[in-house]
Amino acid sequence: MDMDKQKILIVGGSSGMGLALARRCLAEGAGVVIAGRGEAKLDAARGELGRPAALETAAVDIGSEDQVAALFQRIDRLDHIVSTAADIEGAYRLLPEIELEAAQRVVESKFYGPLLLAKHGAPQLPANGSLTFVSGIAAYRPAARGAVVAAVNAALEGLVRALAVELAPIRVNAVSPGWVDTPIWEFVAGDKKDDTLAAMAKRLPAGRVGRPQDIADAIRFLIGNGFTTGETLHVEGGQRLV
């Protein structure tokens, strides 16, 4: 796919995997809109990317249908929609400690958000356009404290398969990362982040944890491959095998 003719919306594009994808797409000549809830983070991301003319930013809470609808009214055209957004702060708790408000934030960011992006964004996509969402290894290798995230990731992958049928020929896919060194680990492991990731790296067949660029590469593949839809692409260093 010739990316210099494409325009891509990346929700969650101000950090981590989304920022890595924005950098890659811009380097290939695509027009990019990065969206997120915080104006300050969006401005910082714009600066980190060098403030190119091909980059736009948009503040939006994808858990709000009114805000999602307004977002697509402001964007003149799109070819692809990607969401790497995940609000998991406070979600990793043992069952007796789970607070419903934290669980609801996960659902809003990783399930309702993609649902609303598809509802309001798909009508603007061309027939060869795509939607790509990010689930995660927890759906396949759940652990104590991770029930909410595991359930939402699994639900998102079910949504992807259903939307691939309903929205065809627009393609709908998911990437399922394993452990990736992104700021999200500050919420999961706190000051034990480095030790936690290092321990996992020793277990993985790949010999390391993931980098944001690894996931950006996988999403870029799904954007460009016109014969892949309804799929979950696993990019997790072999974690499902150990």
Do 183 and 16 touch, CB atoms closer than 8 A?
A: yes
3-state secondary structure 78-131: CCEEEECCCCCCCCCCCHHHCCHHHHHHHHHHHHHHHHHHHHHHHHHCCCCCEE
**Positions marked active-site:** 135
Here the tokens at position 203 are 């277990």
The per-type count for the chain, helices as H runs and strands as E runs, is 9, 7
Length of the chain: 242
Those residues whose C-beta lies under 8 Å from the C-beta of residue 143, and which sit 6 or more positions away, are none
* 152 Cβ contact list (under 8 Å, min separation 6): 106, 107, 110, 111
